[in-house]
């Protein structure tokens, strides 16, 4: 039903009744393929991200005499290897900064230009693209796929569906192997996998991640974006009328007409924008939470505009403010706020990384013997020093104590620790018992590289007197 009414701003056009849909349409959305700058950019991002994911697991790094994976989460030894960097659990603040920076970057991009991450870099989007590409190679164009879905089962349908699902499972399995390869070196994992000699947790994650990828990218697809992903739900509080998003220029496009006629807008109502949309929405109905800002409808509409001899940009990246016929505005305060916070936390993360110590020390008391008194009237306490060498070479450390008058170290006070390793030193501290100190007294213990006291790491403990 069309009703001609004056539009905002005084222009005359058509305001269309839009049906409200409370439940998704049944069946799989088979989007039509389209070529254009945004589709090319999406595939470029897919190649870029997956080259990192599938290729990064094979990179190696020489660490002294040891060759290890360049990107490796070594859970057993509590290490994260990032090329030349080795991060420990004590670097949790760095992880926090990384997560904060990632979140702020997402907020900044969303406030500035909508859900660009969803449309171009989200793993759900990328793997859905890969799976639908395989589907198109096996089953054909969207019309052929829809016909195959509704056709009765026969030899041809079984062969095509079987081939498609076999390729999907192979892709999902290799994705799972790659994922687990970041936790178990892939050059060790593959031989054990072919020999059916993987651990319980490795086997669990291989099966889980393969099934997860297969179901999410092969079956759930756009339903994840519409019903499972929280980002699509709370994006409304991160955008406003000044955010650049994929939008339809209603002032220019309405009223729609299949052929050029007097008073008709530029929209020829070909519905190609709906046919190419991965979630299957009609962008002409306005901004919708299911829109992932992929720009495919922009490419499709531009192609049609070229064919009918009209200007591109009927559907384009623009703010609601601009699409309503008003002039563009300056950068909004929320965008400036996100940019400032992003710069601040990035700088804090870089500073935290630059000021990272070369050595860390943890002191544990020997719980077997709280204290003991020697024949010459001195009191001894025993400690276990755990020294973490965060440098790229082996270092010999010297222990020292202070805080208790006359306290000295009995026996060995030196420890050699390999690069990026932890070693333990049993330390015995002796102090005279002259009767002036009783109970627990504060004791400071430090370790420093030989000849470099300025690089010392310290920890506080207690020295017990009778």
What are the extents of the domains in the chain?
A: 2-22+240-325, 37-87+122-235, 359-464
Res. 21 pLDDT band, cuts 50 70 90: low
pLDDT for res 17: 59
Give tens-digit pLDDT for 113-150: 888 888 898 999 999 999 999 999 998 888 888 888 88
Q: Which residues contact 9 (CB under 8 A, 6 or more apart)?
A: 251, 324, 325, 326
pLDDT for res 304: 92
Q: Which residues contact 347 (CB under 8 A, 6 or more apart)?
A: none
Q: Are 291 and 279 in contact (CB under 8 A)?
A: yes
**The pair of three-digit structure tokens given for residue 61, joined into one six-digit string:** 């790094």
Angle (deg, nearest 10), helices 123-139 and 37-56: 100
Bridge partners, 316 (sequence order): 247
Res. 453 pLDDT band, cuts 50 70 90: low
Between 380 and 263, the higher pLDDT residue: 380
Give tens-digit pLDDT for 303-315: 999 988 888 989 9
Per-residue pLDDT at 465 exceeds 80:
yes
Over residues 355-384, mean pLDDT? 82
In whole angstroms, give the CA distance from residue 196 to residue 414.
45
Torsional sign, CA 288, 291, 295, 296: negative
Q: What's this model's pTM, rounded to 2 decimal places? A: 0.79
In whole angstroms, give the CA distance from residue 465 to residue 370.
9
Q: What percent of the chain has pLDDT over 90?
A: 26
Q: What percent of the chain has pLDDT over 70?
A: 92
From the number of C-beta atoms within 10 Å of its C-beta (0-12, 13-18, 19+), residue 447 rates as: buried
Res. 27 pLDDT band, cuts 50 70 90: low
Closest CA to 361 of 333, 317, 398: 398
Per-residue pLDDT at 298 exceeds 70:
yes
Give tens-digit pLDDT for 370-417: 778 887 888 888 888 888 888 777 888 888 888 888 888 888 888 888
Over residues 149-178, mean pLDDT? 93
Give tens-digit pLDDT for 82-111: 888 888 888 888 888 999 999 999 889 888
pLDDT for res 124: 92
Angle value at C-alpha 451, between 446 and 453, nearest 5 degrees: 35
- The fold for domain 359-464 equals Immunoglobulin-like (2.60.40)
Per-residue pLDDT at 1 exceeds 70:
no
Per-residue pLDDT at 7 exceeds 80:
no
CA distances in angstroms from 271 to 173, 257, 280, 338, listed in the order given? 37, 12, 11, 37
Over residues 59-69, mean pLDDT? 82
């Amino acid at each position: 039903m069309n009703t001609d009414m004056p539009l905002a701003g005084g222009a005359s056009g058509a305001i269309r009744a839009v049906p409200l849909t409370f439940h998704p349409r049944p069946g799989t959305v088979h989007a039509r393929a389209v070529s254009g700058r945004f589709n090319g950019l999406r595939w470029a991002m897919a190649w870029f991200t997956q080259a990192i994911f599938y290729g990064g697991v094979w990179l190696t790094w020489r660490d002294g005499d040891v060759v290890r994976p360049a990107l490796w989460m070594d859970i057993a030894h509590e290490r994260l290897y990032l090329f030349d960097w080795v991060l420990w659990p004590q670097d949790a603040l760095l992880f926090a900064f990384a997560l904060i920076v990632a979140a702020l970057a997402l907020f900044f991009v969303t406030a500035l230009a909508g859900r660009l991450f969803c449309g171009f870099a989200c793993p759900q989007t990328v793997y859905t693209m890969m799976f639908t590409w395989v589907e198109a190679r096996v089953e054909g164009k969207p019309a052929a796929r829809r016909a195959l879905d509704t056709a009765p089962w026969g030899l041809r349908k079984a062969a095509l569906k079987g081939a498609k699902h076999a390729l999907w499972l192979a892709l999902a399995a290799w994705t799972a192997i790659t994922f687990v390869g970041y936790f178990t070196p892939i050059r060790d994992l593959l031989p054990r996998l072919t020999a059916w000699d993987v651990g319980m947790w490795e086997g669990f994650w291989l099966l889980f991640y393969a099934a997860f990828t297969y179901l999410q990218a092969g079956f759930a697809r756009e339903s994840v974006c519409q019903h499972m992903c929280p980002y699509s739900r709370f994006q409304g509080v991160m955008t406003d009328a000044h955010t650049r998003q994929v939008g339809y220029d209603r002032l220019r496009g309405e009223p729609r007409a299949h052929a050029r006629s007097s008073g008709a807008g530029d929209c020829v109502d070909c519905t190609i924008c709906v046919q190419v949309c991965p979630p299957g929405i009609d962008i002409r109905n306005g901004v919708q939470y299911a829109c992932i800002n992929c720009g495919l409808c922009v490419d499709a509409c531009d192609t049609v505009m070229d064919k009918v001899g009209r200007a591109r940009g009927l559907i384009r990246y623009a703010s609601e403010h601009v699409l309503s016929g008003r002039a563009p505005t300056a950068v909004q305060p929320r965008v400036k706020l996100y940019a400032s916070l992003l710069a601040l936390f990035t700088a804090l993360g870089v500073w935290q990384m630059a000021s990272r110590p070369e050595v860390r020390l943890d002191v544990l008391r020997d719980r077997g013997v709280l204290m003991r008194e020697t024949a010459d009237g001195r009191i001894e306490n025993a400690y276990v020093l755990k020294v973490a060498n965060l440098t790229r070479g082996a270092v010999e450390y010297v222990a020292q104590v202070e805080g208790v008058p006359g306290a000295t170290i009995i026996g060995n006070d030196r420890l050699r620790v390999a690069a990026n390793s932890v070693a333990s030193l049993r330390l015995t501290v002796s102090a005279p018992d002259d009767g002036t100190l009783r109970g627990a007294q504060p004791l400071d213990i430090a370790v420093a590289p030989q000849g470099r006291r300025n690089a010392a790491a310290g920890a506080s403990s207690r020295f017990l007197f009778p």
